[in-house]
């Protein structure tokens, strides 16, 4: 198993968001884990237009759609990867909400609003 995965729909949505914001070539999605909130930790996602840091873990994901290859990069710092190992970034679309979600097998509990977690 890879340290971190992304579903094909998540790859497609990250690529669409990068294009919509006119990100430079090589831009990525940075995912991190921060302390705080009610359960102890929360996820932080941001678009990152700079070169990866030397310590970053760089994950490259590709989809092929209509004979076109879609590629994205996800950057995770080493400290956050400890909490994200085995996780998958997915695109979730429900009746009243949509967006990125991280399916994390290490999660032991989540707060009621699903904004924070504990491992």
Q: For the chain, which domains are there?
A: 4-118 (2.60.300.12)
Q: What pTM was estimated for this model as a whole?
A: 0.90
CA distance 114 to 49: 28
Q: How many residues does the chain have?
A: 119
Structure tokens of 8?
Answer: 């094909």
* DSSP labels, 26-88: T-EEEEEEEEETTTEEEEEEEEE-SPPPTT-EEEEEEEEETTEEEEEEEEE-HHHHHHHTTEE
- The pLDDT assigned to 1 comes to 44
For every one of its 119 residues, what pLDDT tens digit does the chain have, with 9 covering 90 and above? 469 999 999 999 999 999 999 999 899 999 999 987 677 889 999 999 999 999 999 999 998 888 889 899 999 999 999 999 999 999 998 878 889 999 999 988 877 666 778 88
Q: Name the residue among 7, 8, 14, 24 with its Cα closest to residue 65.
A: 8
> Which letter does DSSP use for residue 1 in this model?
-
- The pLDDT assigned to 116 comes to 75
């Amino acid at each position: 198993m890879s340290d971190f995965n992304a579903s094909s729909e998540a790859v497609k949505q990250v690529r669409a968001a990068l294009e919509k914001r006119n990100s430079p070539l090589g831009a990525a999605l940075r995912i991190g884990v921060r302390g705080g909130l009610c359960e102890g930790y929360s996820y932080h996602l941001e678009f990152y237009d700079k070169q990866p840091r030397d310590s970053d873990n760089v994950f490259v994901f590709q989809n092929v759609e209509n004979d076109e290859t879609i590629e994205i990069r996800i950057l995770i710092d080493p400290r956050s990867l400890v909490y994200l190992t085995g996780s998958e970034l997915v695109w979730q679309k429900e009746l009243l909400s949509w967006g990125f979600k991280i399916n994390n097998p290490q999660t032991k509990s989540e707060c009621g609003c699903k904004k924070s977690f504990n491992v």
